[in-house]
A = this chain, B = another copy of it.
Amino acid sequence: MSGAPVKFQARKTVEQVEEGNDLAPKFDDRGLIAVVTTDATSGELLMQGYMNAEALQLTISTGEAHYYSRSRNVLWHKGATSGLVQTVQELLVDDDQDCVWLRVDVTGGASCHVGYRSCFYRKVPVAGDFEAKQSEGHVALEWTETEKVFDPDEVYGDAPNPTVL
């Protein structure tokens, strides 16, 4: 843990936010900022989540990804339960600073609570492919990963599933 508390600048002008070097993140009316997390080596999208201010400060100061769980309403040090810690290689902000991009190395090689490497293991056919495969407007998801990296029952035990219907 770093000794210095991470501080943010106030958002004053569009030019400051878009073209300056002030770190002035925009948290929404829930106090959250969107986060995109990719594998630093493969470039694969691992997950999309949210941070509150504290999670962003801890991620910057410790170099390990922290999120805010909307389903559990808690600060969430990724890997605290599963051991699948994400070590941040690069942390980037977007033009209007309402999104954070983490490029991470993942201990254990998996980031998805279902047990897959990435949370994105199914795809939707689009355009002509959709047209060819659809039936009355419905189309089946197609798997892009077939083998789980870990057994979620072993890793999470009785912890409640975070998916909300």
Contact residues in B for A59 (Cβ distance below 8 Å): 126
A14 to chain B minimum Cβ distance, whole angstroms, is 5
Decide: A138 near B9, CB < 8 A? Known: A60-B124, A61-B127, A126-B59.
Answer: yes
How many protomers of this protein does the assembly include? 2
B6 touches A130 (CB 8 A): yes
A122 to chain B minimum Cβ distance, whole angstroms, is 6
Which of the four size classes fits the interface of chain A? 35 or more
Chain B's closest residue to A17 (CB) is B163
Q: Tell me if A101 counts as interface (CB < 8 A to partner B).
A: yes
A73 to chain B minimum Cβ distance, whole angstroms, is 15
Instruction: For the complex of A and B, list the 5 residue pairs with the smallest distance between their C-beta atoms, beginning with the closest.
Output: A63-B127, A43-B43, A7-B137, A96-B163, A94-B119
Contact residues in B for A141 (Cβ distance below 8 Å): 20-23, 93
Q: Tell me if A146 counts as interface (CB < 8 A to partner B).
A: no
- Secondary structure dominating the interface of A: loop
Bits for A135-151, please: 1 = Cβ < 8 Å to B, else 0.
01111111110000000
Give the complex CA separation of A78 and B163 in angstroms. Answer: 30
B95 touches A114 (CB 8 A): yes
Contact residues in B for A165 (Cβ distance below 8 Å): 11-14, 17, 26
Q: Tell me if A75 counts as interface (CB < 8 A to partner B).
A: no
A45 to chain B minimum Cβ distance, whole angstroms, is 5
A162 touches B6 (CB 8 A): no
